Structure 1
């Protein structure tokens, strides 16, 4: 008996792989939602993570049902109940969910750069007024060892700072009635520091040796693109494997194919035996006819 029993080896290995993947996907998705919810929301990957969790929740009982049939040595029946619907319908929903998720993921990949720039700029602009944007910027700058969108100087143009260096007169902005003042800041948030404490104010005079000077935009874009591509491949792989499983189990449970296989095995030898008997019978009859014709010819000569 083969390892897979009455089921195709492709179905067995695919069911095992998808079962392990569903367990991993559920744990990974819940971890991201609870620990990095704001990060997912502001980078546009929250919807993709939701699709991954939904697909894994539907896929887990479906593959457990198939593995139970395999473990008990039974052929997987596409009409077997999984929770509240047939097995083939559960597999169909998995294929549909992963196909839609792959399409959405592809669309987000196309607009990923613009989305990252927009969210980082919005977070820097609302750094002082909205806590979730402040947490987002600080977490990104601490974890990626970066500062600002393209460089640390991007913070100089944002109204985030705690201290104002001074006022500078700008002759170009003066009018005949009044002279306008322009705020100038050369400080960055503490999350730009290389260590726990550093010089983050008056950077023009004191230097930038203690802060990270590279921008967060390119680094965050590469990380998000890498995760989106991994999600895209995962969704496509899941959909393809489920299509193969559905096709094979529907083929194995087809009544016409099973009946043809049973008849071919059980009636193969009797058919050959009957063929041999029929051939011998024909041959015997031919010899009898020749003998009768010869006897009639000899009788005619004797007369």
Structure 2
């Protein structure tokens, strides 16, 4: 196959590599956000999240493998003639690429439609974690680490800790202080030294509180009042927006590849890409393509010249971009 325009092979290679890079970015971004989102979930919900993300992983891996192999295919095609078999190969190749991109975009769209399910599962998981805060050490570590890292408290608000099954009710012998809440130390703001210093075990303030209280009485002004579920939702939506951008980018690159491939096949049918002369002469008779070194003069021989003793005129190919590995071709009327 001949390059119909300047550096056509370079442009094709760049587009193929770009598509493979997009697939690699999709895999990396999915792995990063999976680790972030599973920090809010229990094991069961984490498996459900992985089930939604599995198709995204497959989409990214398909882009990497398919387009790297396509780059090797194109490098071989440039050295071959544009036969009907080559045209059929490229047509099937384009159809296969369209199927991959379409299935990948469908996977991203399905994940987008499942946001409500994931948020509901995360909410139920976090509420269950509050009820099991003391009975399950794994949940205690998860909640403490989550609230300290994300600077949040409770599921939707800090008051969720007050609604736990094991939390004393207002009618119990619990001290009810205005502007205070029973919550773990992990709810304290990072820059609030008083939240930790005044309520450490053995301190004067906590010694006056009821010993039945599972948590110290913390002032609302010293703790994080926003819940952890909105932080989870923001992280989830941020990941979805990144996925949508990458999916649309892969679709645009595919469109460019399809247009360039169709244009190359069209130019192979119309002409040889050098002097824009067709594969037949003006009377419809076929022309034979003969390759020769770039420094050899191009001679056109017709039927009259073959029957005459006179030497034909010597012409030079007026190619715009001669290359060392793809030499110009002379045409002989047969």
Name the one with the larger helix percent. 1
Structure 1 stretches of 5 or more lacking a match? 170-184, 273-303
**Counterpart residue number, 1:94:** 100
Question: In the alignment, is the contact (CA less than 8 A) between 2:119 and 2:233 conserved in 1?
Answer: yes
Report matched runs for 1:1-303 at 5 Å. 4-6=7-9, 9=11, 11-33=12-34, 37-39=38-40, 41=45, 45-68=49-72, 74=78, 87-88=93-94, 90-109=96-115, 114=120, 116-130=122-136, 133-159=139-165, 168=172, 186-195=181-190, 198=196, 199=199, 207-246=219-258, 248-249=260-261, 252-253=264-265, 258-262=268-272, 265-267=276-278, 271=282
Partner Cα distance (1:43, 1:193) in 2: 31
Higher radius of gyration, 1 or 2: 1
Question: In the alignment, is the contact (CA less than 8 A) between 2:147 and 2:187 conserved in 1?
Answer: yes
Question: In the alignment, is the contact (CA less than 8 A) between 1:142 and 1:191 conserved in 2?
Answer: yes
| Pair 238,122 (structure 1): closer, same or farther in 2 beyond 3 Å | farther
Figure out how many residues of one structure are paired with residues of the other and give that number: 248
Partner Cα distance (1:13, 1:46) in 2: 32
Partner Cα distance (2:102, 2:6) in 1: 31
| Pair 267,247 (structure 1): closer, same or farther in 2 beyond 3 Å | closer
RMSD: 4.5
Partner Cα distance (1:150, 1:96) in 2: 37
| Alpha-carbon shift at residue 212 of structure 1 (Å) | 2.1
| Alpha-carbon shift at residue 13 of structure 1 (Å) | 4.1
| Alpha-carbon shift at residue 44 of structure 1 (Å) | 6.6
TM-score, normalising length: structure 1: 0.61
| Pair 105,251 (structure 1): closer, same or farther in 2 beyond 3 Å | farther
TM-score, normalising length: structure 2: 0.56
Partner Cα distance (2:55, 2:20) in 1: 17
Structure 2 stretches of 5 or more lacking a match? 81-85, 174-179, 201-205, 210-214, 284-334
Question: In the alignment, is the contact (CA less than 8 A) between 2:108 and 2:244 conserved in 1?
Answer: yes
